[in-house]
Amino acid sequence: MALRLLRGKDGRLTAYVPVSGGLARWTEDRPGGSSWTGPWLIRTPGLSQVTIAQGPDGYAHLVGLRRTEGKDGPKVDLVHATQFQTGRPLTAWHSLGTPHPKDRAKAQRTGPPAAALDASGALRVFVRNAGGGVSARRQDPKGTWERWTDWKGERVLGGLSAASTADGRLELLAPAGKGAALRWFQPKPGAAPKRGEDVPADARPDSASVVETSPGTLTHYWRDARSGELLAWRPDVPAPAPLGGAAGTGPVAAVRAVVDGHDCTVLAHQDTEAGRLAVAAHPSEDEAAGVWWTPTGEQGAHTPALALDDQGGVVLAALSLDGKLLVARQKTDERGLALHAWTRVGGG
């Protein structure tokens, strides 16, 4: 998991980032304010590869891969915890096991998780299994966990990306070998997930991300395996659209926002050539209109995250080289996607 930025039901933002020994968390003291509390360390030895899913109720579901040493050797399992209120402690971590409960060697090959909530409020957790396919485990709306199920698939590389539309229709993208990404989706809210056609994507592992760009439509992003260029794709589009700009690293952060009264998608990524972050905005679902990247922030800033504050303004967060949280907010008195100066929040 890179840095994640979430808005709770009370309008305050929370930033999460993996650190040695667990997770660091920063929380806004008030919605839209300049002061934050943190970092607060959520101690979880062996925790890595964390993803976070948030539902309409504002609850944050944290799912991570945990590696520990036991009397019988290394052990791997998936763990889950929930934060019900902004700034409050998490629940205890609950083990979800792996798709391979009786084979420790296979369990070691379990990939990083992805997670999303569907229309019923059920949480689904996805991983690449030891056979190169996808396995999933579902927590029903009452909190009961079902068994791991095999969603099939093949040659999955890792870096799964999952999300739900505002009406709760879930999609999963799994970068795979031979120039394809596998896709599962719910045809309508509450329907059983089904395998879609493969997406033409020669994607780098761990570069996929997704955001809802219009009601009911999710746009998926990834980096080309050779060039590192960002591409965008959504259903009913014949081919992935290039997003221009220099090559970068990691997934792109994306959020849908209003810019100058227009429905836009705002993007941020780590530009390896400029050595800093770059941001862009374009009309939602109109990549052909052009995407122009603007460098921002200090040298070495990395792992960008985007969110909307309680007033609908864009907030960009990142980490500095010395582990401090950097935050920049959208200016409301200027045209275009103008950001205020970066605020350095605290040490990690």
Nearest residue to 196 via CA among 188, 187, 209: 187
Distance CA 312, CA 248 (A): 28
Structure tokens at 23: 């997770």
Q: What are 209's strand-pairing partners?
A: 221
Phi, psi at residue 105, to the nearest 5°? -65, -45
pTM of the model as a whole: 0.94
pLDDT at 348: 46
> Which pairing describes strands 343-344 and 134-139: parallel, antiparallel, or unpaired?
unpaired
Distance CA 123, CA 55 (A): 9
Nearest residue to 36 via CA among 324, 323, 266, 312: 324
pLDDT at 249: 87
Domains by residue range for the chain, with CATH: 60-200 (2.120.10.10)
336: CB partners within 8 A, 6+ apart: 259, 260, 281
Buried b (16+ CB within 10 A) or exposed e, 211-222: bbbeeebbbbbb
Phi, psi at residue 104, to the nearest 5°? -65, -35
Q: What is the pLDDT along the chain (348 residues), one digit of tens a residue?
A: 589 999 999 999 999 998 888 999 999 999 998 899 989 999 999 998 999 999 999 999 999 999 998 777 789 999 999 999 999 999 999 999 999 999 999 999 999 999 999 999 999 999 999 999 999 999 999 999 999 999 999 999 989 999 999 999 999 999 998 889 999 999 999 899 999 999 999 999 889 999 999 999 999 999 999 889 999 999 988 899 999 866 788 899 999 999 999 999 999 999 887 788 999 999 999 999 989 999 998 888 899 999 999 999 999 999 998 889 999 999 988 888 999 999 998 654
Structure tokens at 149: 């199920």
Distance CA 112, CA 138 (A): 16
Contact call for residues 181 and 174 (beta carbons, < 8 A): yes
Question: Can you say whether the dihedral through the CA atoms of 54, 207, 3, 252 is positive or negative?
Answer: negative
Structure tokens at 262: 């227009």
Q: What torsion do the CA atoms of 156, 140, 1, 304 make, to the nearest 10 degrees?
A: 120
Contact call for residues 23 and 50 (beta carbons, < 8 A): yes
